Amino acid sequence: MVHISVAVGRQMADTLMMAVSAAGCLGVALALNAPLALVMLCVVPLVGIVILVFSCCTRRISRRAGEELAQGGTLATEVIHGIRTVAALCAQKWALGLYEEKMRLSQKFSIRSDALSGVLIGITGFLFYCTYTFAFIIGTEQVANDA
Alpha helical stretches, state H, 33-147 = 34-41, 43-81, 83-88, 92-146
Query: In degrees, to the nearest 5, what angle opens at C-alpha 5 toward C-alphas 4 and 9?
Result: 120
Asked if 102 and 72 count as a contact pair (C-beta separation under 8 A), the reply is yes
Running DSSP on this structure, what letter comes out for residue 33? -
Domain ranges of the chain: 1-32, 41-146
pLDDT tens-digit profile, the chain (147 residues): 566 666 677 888 888 999 999 999 989 989 998 888 888 888 888 888 988 999 899 999 999 999 999 999 999 999 989 988 888 888 889 999 999 999 999 999 999 999 999 999 999 899 889 888 888 888 888 888 885
Q: Are 124 and 39 in contact (CB under 8 A)?
A: no
Are 40 and 135 a contacting pair, CB within 8 Å? yes
